Amino acid sequence: MESVIPLAFTASWASGINPYLLVFLAGLLGRFTGAEVPPGFERMDVLVIFGVLVVIDAIADKVMLVDSAWDVVNTAIRPIAGAVVAVLIVTPDVDLPTAAVAAAGGTVALITHLAKATTRLAVNTSPEPASNVVVSVAEDVAVCGVVLVAVVNPWVAAAIALVLLTVAVVVAIIVARAARRGIRRVRQWGVAES
């Protein structure tokens, strides 16, 4: 029970980036290594469905502008997935503390998703296509790495996820401020030319 909270936090963080990869990887770990994961994740139909979703996400996330559209679609999915996964990790019975963990899980996933989507919009303004692929692969590697660390040491994984979340939020804030300044300059430039 001691490792449930950091596992729920780590899963919520991962859901904010790629819930499909999280469920698929956790299902495989549960099925083939005996790791304790929500039993539904290990079902063959769940593994097949989430395996297909991992492939779709991998393709959509690496194509400039398609990845931003994919992020828009996932704005609702990622936080809900974070909440559901957090609840399933804590317990299948829903009570007040479980609902609080679900709300916290959804919030962590939403913050992570918003930071990712904001940063990705900035990456999409880059004229070359390679940065989009590099950022997408880095995100997938981070999710895999943190989930694998969580199996060995949930507290270390939670600490890593917290650091990555903090960095993502700081980067998103910097990007948003730079975008606002750029928009103001363009508006001022347009007014000056009129």
Question: What pLDDT is attached to residue 144?
Answer: 93
Question: Residue 95: is it exposed, middle or buried by C-beta count within 10 angstroms (0-12/13-18/19+)?
Answer: exposed
Averaged pLDDT for residues 143-155:
92
Tell me which residue has tokens 């948003």. Answer: 176
Its pTM stands at: 0.67
Residues 111-125 have pLDDT tens digits of 888 888 888 887 777
- At residue 1 the predicted structure's pLDDT band, cuts being 50, 70 and 90, is low
Which amino acid belongs to residue 119? T
Q: What are the φ/ψ torsions at residue 150 (nearest 5 degrees)?
A: -60, -35
Contact of 90 with 4, CB cutoff 8 Å: yes
Look up residue 107 and give its two tokens.
């919030």
- Higher pLDDT, residue 96 or 194: 194
